[in-house]
Structure 1
Amino acid sequence: MPTGSSDMIRRRAFRRTDNYMPGTLKLKLVEEVLPPLEPTSVLIKVHAVSLNYRDANIANGGNPWPVLPNGILCNDAAGEVIAIGDKVKGLLIGDRVGPITDTKNISGREIGRSWLAADEDGVMADHIVFDENVLCKLPDHLDWNEAATIPCAGVTAWSALKGMSIGQTVLIQGTGGVSVFALNLAKAAGLRIILTSSSDAKLKQMSERYPGILTINYSSTPDWDQEVMRLTAEEGVDIVVENGGTGSLVKSLKCTRRGAVVSQVGYLSKQDPADLRELVPTIIDRRVTLRGINAGSKYDMEDFCAALSAAQTRLHDLIDKIFPFAEAEDAVEYVWQGKQVGKIVLRL
């Protein structure tokens, strides 16, 4: 028999309306029956959910992969285990946990993929049920809001910066959740940082928050790749956290040191294959390793949480704004409009 408060059979959740017309509501609050608690599953009381651009993109019909009709949004959550199945071995009542983003990606060697909020329901609910195999324990020193930023944005930034070394230079694009997470990790690791944005106000805010970083407004400096080369004495950067996709990728490659790494973490710009005409010759010429970052595995998340715990690193500086759970629609629109500098969190 399950252990704990498993008699709760209903939950509140925000499901997508799948109405992509401008000005229409993208979410609907529903009360529904909880999924059954299987022998190896746990019931989690959610305390915080954090949003990513991906969530706003899915809600507005822009996801390039198929999604579950009217699915529950979001893949970043932090909560407390309140009931466990009778065959659960690694978790206890009261444990602080969050699910991994790709529930098929345990070790990193799996063939399939299954993303929360895409081909299965996400976590924008007051209670969620998951198999213990896809859950990670979250650092005890973080509050719920901080912990909720880890599974997608945090693990993505962690994966994007793999292989970095003290003294190297990293180019980070944008001021969204993954970018600000990567900036924090890079600064803690002793990297030189160049940050780009189309907003002078955001760049000023980030420069004041993180003294010593170099900044470029890519809107007022269209040849921003040349400016990166100038800032690095024509040597180029060692690693790029690439957020734009086709609109910026070739320029990102052109401002690297030969043998550098470009971590493709997003596709925020308008995607046009014509922008990639120089892709192959540029990769060959600069001997760049271009790697796709799809968040990370369960092992990656465990490693990241262990690193945060060992250094007692806090993440509150990453949070731009906290919305009440009831204002999920406003939070999604805030992200869709690109107003955030860092992470947006729903507090339950």
Structure 2
Amino acid sequence: MPSPTVTQRRAFRRTDDYTPGTPKVKLVQEALQLPLSPTAVLIKVHAVGLNYRDANIANGGNPWPIIPNGILCNDAAGEIIAVGEKVKSLVVGDRVGPITDTENISGREVKRSWLAADEDGVMADHIIFDERVLCKLPTYLDWVDACIIPCAGVTAWSALKGMSIGQTVLIQGMHICIWARIIADELGTGGVSVFALKLARAAGLRVILTSSSDAKLQQMKEKFSHPPILTVNYSKIPDWDREVMKLTGGTGVDIVVENGGTGSLVKSLRCTRRGGVVSQVGYLSKQDPNDLRELVPTIIDRRINLRGINAGSKFDMEDFCAALEAAQTPLNDLIDKVFPFEQADDAIEL
């Protein structure tokens, strides 16, 4: 394979300056690591997604270690423009995105390495990855829609894994569902909970939605009007877990997509049926260990399966992409806003 003609890239690296009002990323020009290793591929990036996780890292709120001044973001879609001499599963022209945890291939691995944390992310116009951590993206989606699959989409997919038609899911926190997305000239916004809502409806699940905003709840009820979505405003109903129990006839939901963390976890457990599942996908509320005093007795009493979700494995992403391709599910309705590539720092501040 001839050497790639592209030798430089533009990338947004973190400044690691957490002072309010200061830039959180810096646009740099840097050399690509060439020549390609035998199993690596060079990707021209067409779209990048900025999730809450990425904004949290850029603003110094990430609870796990990160490399200094790393490249931000882990949601991306791009086109292969060069391959190493021993690459077998991919060819030039394939549409691909990397998995979020590059050690998580089958789900049985004991190590992990997160993009934009343990290693550089994808907020660049060209990226290089080994073929083992890349998945082919659905061909019917444009670059903008496809870029939200690897992290936001796979997280929603993994959180709902194991559900059956007719079961009930509680999806939390529609007020803070934000991701931002960069394409060659643009950047847009949306959220994991909205993705989960869309997938739940497509899977034939009964949905209960929580938010602190009546306007947001009404918007979702109008958008997904048949069958109707049940809603709870947790700012107006502090004991929202009891309200969810009422809505389910005292049984509880089958699964919760939990993104609040310590502030909402125990209540999520309390309104889940005995033997049900709580998928912990985030930690968006203020974290306070005192909120977890009843965690252990509640888990035991209700026999809850509490599972941590960090996107998913490569196999999960492949299954998700296959399901999307088969159903030709549109994702363009998950887009809120677009920004120029150069305004990535503005998107982080959303």
* Cα distance in 2, alignment partners of residues 116 and 306 from structure 1: 23
* Cα distance in 2, alignment partners of residues 190 and 57 from structure 1: 33
* RMSD of Structure 2 on Structure 1 (CA): 0.9
Q: Could you tell me which residue of structure 2 aligns to residue 12 of structure 1?
A: 10
Q: Could you tell me which residue of structure 2 aligns to residue 272 of structure 1?
A: 288
2:210 to 188, 196, 214: 196
**Counterpart of 1:327 in 2: which secondary structure?**
helix
Q: Could you tell me which residue of structure 2 aligns to residue 216 of structure 1?
A: 232
Tell me how far 1:137 sits from its aligned partner: 0.2
TM-score by length of 2: 0.93
2:322 to 298, 301, 306: 306
Q: Which runs of 4+ in 1 moved over 2 A?
A: none
Tell me how far 1:290 sits from its aligned partner: 0.5
* Cα distance in 1, alignment partners of residues 322 and 330 from structure 2: 13
Q: Could you tell me which residue of structure 2 aligns to residue 288 of structure 1?
A: 304
Q: Could you tell me which residue of structure 1 aligns to residue 21 of structure 2?
A: 23
**Counterpart of 2:215 in 1: which secondary structure?**
helix
Which letter maps to 1:172?
I
Q: Could you tell me which residue of structure 2 aligns to residue 185 of structure 1?
A: 199
* Cα distance in 2, alignment partners of residues 246 and 269 from structure 1: 7
Q: Could you tell me which residue of structure 1 aligns to residue 344 of structure 2?
A: 328
Q: Which runs of 5+ in 1 are unaligned?
A: 335-348
Tell me how far 1:322 sits from its aligned partner: 2.0
Which letter maps to 2:20?
P
Q: Which runs of 5+ in 2 are unaligned?
A: 178-190
* Cα distance in 2, alignment partners of residues 238 and 144 from structure 1: 34
Tell me how far 1:258 sits from its aligned partner: 1.0
TM-score by length of 1: 0.94
* Cα distance in 2, alignment partners of residues 142 and 153 from structure 1: 16
* Cα distance in 2, alignment partners of residues 83 and 71 from structure 1: 24
* Cα distance in 2, alignment partners of residues 21 and 253 from structure 1: 37
Q: Could you tell me which residue of structure 2 aligns to residue 343 of structure 1?
A: none
**Counterpart of 1:67 in 2: which secondary structure?**
coil
**Amino-acid identity (%):** 79
Which letter maps to 1:201?
A
* Cα distance in 2, alignment partners of residues 199 and 113 from structure 1: 36
* Cα distance in 1, alignment partners of residues 104 and 287 from structure 2: 27
* Cα distance in 2, alignment partners of residues 283 and 174 from structure 1: 22
Tell me how far 1:198 sits from its aligned partner: 1.3
Q: Could you tell me which residue of structure 1 aligns to residue 37 of structure 2?
A: 38
Tell me how far 1:148 sits from its aligned partner: 0.3
**Counterpart of 1:44 in 2: which secondary structure?**
strand
Tell me how far 1:96 sits from its aligned partner: 0.2
Tell me how far 1:135 sits from its aligned partner: 0.3
* Cα distance in 1, alignment partners of residues 48 and 41 from structure 2: 18
**Counterpart of 2:339 in 1: which secondary structure?**
strand
* Cα distance in 2, alignment partners of residues 105 and 12 from structure 1: 28
* Cα distance in 1, alignment partners of residues 129 and 341 from structure 2: 21
Tell me how far 1:7 sits from its aligned partner: 2.2
* Cα distance in 2, alignment partners of residues 204 and 17 from structure 1: 39
